[in-house]
Amino acid sequence: MFRKLTILLVLAALGLSAGLAQAYFEDTVISPRSRAMGESAVAVPDAQAAAFLNPAYLAEVSEKSFGAAYVQPFRQGFNDFYYLGGALPIHSRWGNFGFGLSSFQVEYQDVDLLKETQLSLAHGVNLFQDMHSSIDFGWSLGIYNVDLGETIDGEDPGSATAYGVDIGMLVTLHKRTKLGFQVKNINNPNIGFDEEELAQRLVGGVSYEPYDGVITTFEIENELGNEVQYHGGTEFYIIDGFALRTGIATNPNRLTGGFGYTFDGFTLHYGFSTGGGVLESNHQFGLNFAWGGEAP
């Protein structure tokens, strides 16, 4: 009886108890690099995360790459977030492809309470290019699946699936300045019996690389129904292969930082962010591997 009561309290705290409004697929940061740079990504995304962050970046990919990341959101022992993604260059004219797979799991005392899985298949292509500038466009199809565990009464809520479409653009000016845009779930998908609307987001940002090894970025994120968020960060290489990163984000206010270390095609990432308010801080780890082509 005590175990069932504890599970019910956890469900209520997460807003997952039967009959209550759900909040599926919240905006969890998938990339340690992005988290360290103030959670900024749309104008400086990782190739392995482009399917989620800005599919237009796939048009610039010149090497095959895969990556994985893990974070325990706000250091709560009952939840885990995993990400796996990759980028595959195909042809400069027809564009390149990428994928991303995320899994958010809530488990308490060996009972699976919730599992959210998203698979995104993405394509990016170059629309225009000259000696100094370029325009890239990308799109992705997101497949969302929610699987709820049994209630304390033994009822199985089952699972639900929805499909969302994202579009993105990346404009490069004079090689040093990039403008990035993404519209998330432009088709306004609904999921579940209650037809809950999945979050729609508009993100726009700019990054500037005054010289090799230093990037600064700033972006604005507007999720429908929520306050506008501002993200900003920087990345700079202090020695060959080792980068330090730092940034800030608002609503709630957060400080971020981290590093990346590259060796023999592998890159180890670490990203840190304060929780904001009463929430605990986040520690995110990732490992990427790239081969073939020319490194960006």
2-291: which CATH topology? Porin (2.40.160)
User: What does the pLDDT read at residue 188?
Assistant: 94
CB 33 within 8 A of CB 269: yes
Which tokens sit at 84?
């796996």
Cβ burial, residue 87 (10 Å; 0-12/13-18/19+):
buried
Return the pLDDT at 11: 42
Between CA 136 and CA 128 the distance in angstroms is 7
- Return the HEC string of 170-205: EEEECCCEEEEEEEECCCCCEECCCCEECCCEEEEE
Domain borders along the chain are 2-291
How confident is the prediction along the chain (296 residues), in pLDDT tens digits per residue? 333 333 433 444 444 333 334 478 888 899 999 999 999 999 998 899 999 999 999 999 999 999 999 999 998 888 999 999 999 999 878 899 999 999 999 988 777 889 999 999 999 999 999 988 999 999 999 999 999 877 777 677 789 999 999 999 999 998 899 999 999 999 999 998 888 899 999 999 999 999 899 999 999 999 988 899 999 999 999 999 999 999 999 999 999 999 999 999 999 999 999 987 788 999 999 999 999 865 44
Residue 131: its pLDDT value, please? 85
pLDDT of 45? 82
